Structures are given as structure tokens and as C-alpha cells.
Amino acid sequence: MNAPVNQSGSHAEDDVVSAMYRQTADENAPDHLNRSILHRARKAGARSTARFWQIGWLQPIALVAVVGLSLTLILDIDKLVDADNPAATVSQGHNSLDRAAAAALEQIREAESLAQQSPGVSDSTTPPLMVEQIKPGNITRDDNPQCNVTQRATTALWWQCIQSLERRGYAEAATIEYEALFAAYPVFEVP
């Protein structure tokens, strides 16, 4: 039983048996089986190719959808954060409100000058306190004294409104507005 062992680990007598086997066992798979299996493989392969193309189109669309949804979510979160911090909203809307207030004052001044220049219109028709009435502090109602959005648009208008409230005796309202002014503009220096 101690036959010589060859390089592959098998014995020399095994090689003889293998050679005898290979000489004889040379049958091939029948053609009808070959055709049947290759047909089956082609059908299955065609199905997977079709599925591949579907996935190929879906992937970029899905990616774009995910990116779009993520951006929407991020913007919504920003809006929610802004809503929680009104001071930030006021400061963001600062420029537009400032412009609106300036435009309103400009229009009133133009109206006053036109009224003064027009010969057919007497001075008595021109309300002398019109500009003054628009000025901060005079717009708010007495039962709920506070500065409105236009007055809060700039630090200067807001400060004028606070002073106006103090002058009119609404010390408590003036204090609340003063604290709100400093919350919105922490670096504001009292003139």
C-alpha cells in the first residue's frame, strides 16, 4: 500500500486509474439539453437586463428626489428657527421696513410742500401736524401703548418711539420696548 506519492499528493496508481477513466468517459451532454438550458439562461438574462435598465433610470431620479427633499427640509428648519427667534426676523427684515418707512415719510413731505406751493389751497387745509402725527409714538393707541413694526424698523425710529412713550407717561411700555430694542440690537448705543 506504500505506493509512491506524486506532486499532487495522489499515488502513482491513482494516475493509472484516472487515465483509464478519462480514456473511456468522454460522453457529451445531449444537444437537446444544451439548447434547453441555454434558452432558459437567455430568457432569464433578458429579464435581468430589462430590470437593470429600469433600475438604471430610477437611480438618478431617486437621487434627485432625495436631494430635493433634503434641501426643502433644511429650508423649513431654517424658517422654524427664525420663527422661534423674532429678533432675528426683525433684523432680517430691517432693510425693507426701513425703506418702506422712509418712502412713507417722503410722500408726506412731498404732499406738504405741494400743498404749500399750490395757490388755490389755503394753509388751513394742510394739516400742520401731519408729519408729526406719522412720527413714532404718535401712531399707537393709548389703551395699548407700544411701538409698531414701522417704528421698530430702525434703531433710530425705535428709540424715538421709546422716548415718545416716556414723554407721554407710558413708562412701563417704554421699558418693555427698551428691553426689546436691546434684545434685537445688542450693540445699540443710546444716543
Partner 1 sequence: MSVSTTVKLSIKSSLGTHEDRAYAREMTDNLEDSALMLRYQDGDIAAFEALYRRHNDSLYRYLLRLSLNHATAEDLFQEAWGKIINARQNYRPTARFSTYLFRVAHNCFIDYIRRNKRHTAEIDIDPDLSPTTDDAPDHLTEKRLFRERLNRSLADLPEEQRDVFLLHEEAGLSIDAIAKVTGVNRETTKSRLRYAMKKLKTTLTESNEGMA
Q: Does 12 bind partner 1 (CB under 8 A)?
A: no
Q: Of residues 7, 48, 122, 144, which one binds partner 1 by CB under 8 A?
A: 48
- Give 54 or 133: the residue with its C-beta nearer to partner 1: 54
Q: Does 35 bind partner 1 (CB under 8 A)?
A: no
Q: Does 46 bind partner 1 (CB under 8 A)?
A: yes
Q: Of residues 2, 4, 7, 21, which one binds partner 1 by CB under 8 A?
A: 21
Give the span between the Cα atoms of 41 and 77, in whole angstroms.
Answer: 52
DSSP structural state of residue 119 = T
Q: What angle do CA 69, 73, 75 make, to 5 degrees?
A: 120
- Least distance from partner 1 to the Cβ atom of residue 65, Å: 22
Given the rule CB under 8 A, which of 27-35, 87-95, 102-110, 147-155 is the region that contacts partner 1?
A: 27-35
Query: 105, exposed or middle or buried, with CB in 10 Å at 0-12, 13-18, 19+?
Result: middle
Give the span between the Cα atoms of 159 and 191, in whole angstroms.
Answer: 9
Q: Does 24 bind partner 1 (CB under 8 A)?
A: yes
Give the span between the Cα atoms of 79 and 83, in whole angstroms.
Answer: 6
- Least distance from partner 1 to the Cβ atom of residue 57, Å: 13
The residue written with cell numbers 422712509 in the block is 102
Q: Does 57 bind partner 1 (CB under 8 A)?
A: no
- Give 48 or 124: the residue with its C-beta nearer to partner 1: 48
Give the span between the Cα atoms of 118 and 105, in whole angstroms.
Answer: 20
Q: Of residues 29, 74, 129, 187, which one binds partner 1 by CB under 8 A?
A: 29
Q: Of residues 5, 6, 18, 68, which one binds partner 1 by CB under 8 A?
A: 18
Q: Does 20 bind partner 1 (CB under 8 A)?
A: yes
- Provide the b/e sequence for 146-178 (b: ≥16 CB within 10 Å): bbeebbbbbbebbbbbbebbbeeebeebbebbb
What residues line the site for partner 1 (CB under 8 A)? 9-11, 13-14, 16-18, 20-30, 33-34, 36-38, 40-42, 44-46, 48-49, 52, 56
